[in-house]
Structure 1
Amino acid sequence: MSNDFYNTSILPHAGIIIKICRAYTDSEPDFEDYYQEVCLQIWKSRNAFKNKSKWSTWIYRIALNVCLTLTKKKVRTSSVDSKIPENSEENKAFQNEDLNLLYDAIKKLSEVDRAIILLYLEENANKEIASIIGTSPNNVAVRVNRIKKQLKILLDGKIN
């Protein structure tokens, strides 16, 4: 993967990738593996992008598919001693305790609900979320309300 592609096409959307990978992993090494695999798959599938959606939507779809696949297969690939620099955005993702609590609560949700709430938290419109998930915008609105209630209960109880 060229640095140019990473810097121009992936790095501006690193927040999306980080949030999705965090929601589907339980440890920093797994997170790093998932993040790396998502970036690799984005690079591999870049020529398949047909401009039918926004590039960020394409990244969401790839990240969700990769994370769901890796979660289902429980693939644990070991990387060759790739340490994340201490000041990187990826490392900061694990240092905020309130954020960690939120991710712990999100991990309690079903796979589809996790995807929906992550897209919602990125301020995507219900129509956009529906197109990514493969459902109707009304269904998304109902599910978001239910997910918010579920997260509130989990966070009020400090997650169990």
Structure 2
Amino acid sequence: MNFETIYKSYWQKVFRLCMGYLNDTDAAKDLAQETFIKVWTQLPNFRNEASIGTWIFRIASNTCLRQIQKENKISKSELPLDIKDEIQETDIEKDIKFLYQYISELQEVERIIISLELEDINQKEIAEIVGLSEGNVRVKIHRIKEKLIQKFKKNGN
């Protein structure tokens, strides 16, 4: 698989994964781009021990986590996740923004798991990416969904 094919196949998925971490469109684009720079430079070293998608999502997750850690060192009191109001949003767009906001408030592992789940990555691959058993991932997904539902109910969305 050549880089151009990989980029076209995974760009949107990696971008949405980054949105799940940061909930900031510009920052998510930057981190998705940074992910693909790493994929480009490391592609010759890819050993096919996991699927290419699993490998790419692991790179994206690590890239996002490093950015979050960097931001937290710079300003722990500042919330890096901000939802900007846009004029004439539809209810679905508002719900999606709230979903990303709620996801961004989850613990790091939970953010990774639910973001990958939203990308329709199978649970076996998610387990490989986060280093948990498939059963544990299934339980975590259920609990994460319950947390998100409660946040929506609590906030009247």
TM-score bracket, normalised by the shorter chain, equals 0.7 to 0.9
Structure 1 runs, 4 residues or longer, greater than 6 Å off? none
Give the equivalent residue in structure 2 for 1:14: 11
For the 8 Å contact 2:11–2:32, the answer to whether it is kept is no
Whole-Å Cα distance in 1 between the matches of residues 135 and 45 of structure 2? 30
TM-score of the superposed pair, with normalisation by structure 2:
0.78
Identical aligned residues as a percent: 35
Q: Within 5 Å, which residues of 2 pair with 1:25-36?
A: 25-36=22-33
Tell me the TM-score normalized by structure 1. 0.77
Does 1:118 find its partner at 2:115?
yes
Measure the CA separation in 1 of the matches of 2:36 and 2:60.
8
Question: Once the 2 structures are TM-superposed, how far is the Cα of residue 144 of structure 1 from its aligned partner?
Answer: 0.8
Query: 1:60 aligned to 2:60?
Result: no
Q: Does 1:137 align with 2:134?
A: yes
Give matches, 1:1-160, under 5 Å.
5=3, 7-74=4-71, 96-158=93-155
Query: How far 1:109 moved relative to its partner?
Result: 0.6
- What CA RMSD, in Å, does the superposition of the two structures yield over aligned residues? 2.0
Structure 1 alignment gaps of length 5 or more:
76-94
Tell me what 1:89 maps to: none
Greater relative CO, 1 or 2 (CA 8 Å, sep 6+) = 2
Give the distance between the partners of 1:32 and 1:129, measured in 2 at CA. Answer: 22
Residues paired across the two proteins, number = 136
Is the contact between residue 38 and residue 59 of structure 2 (CA under 8 Å) also seen in structure 1?
A: yes
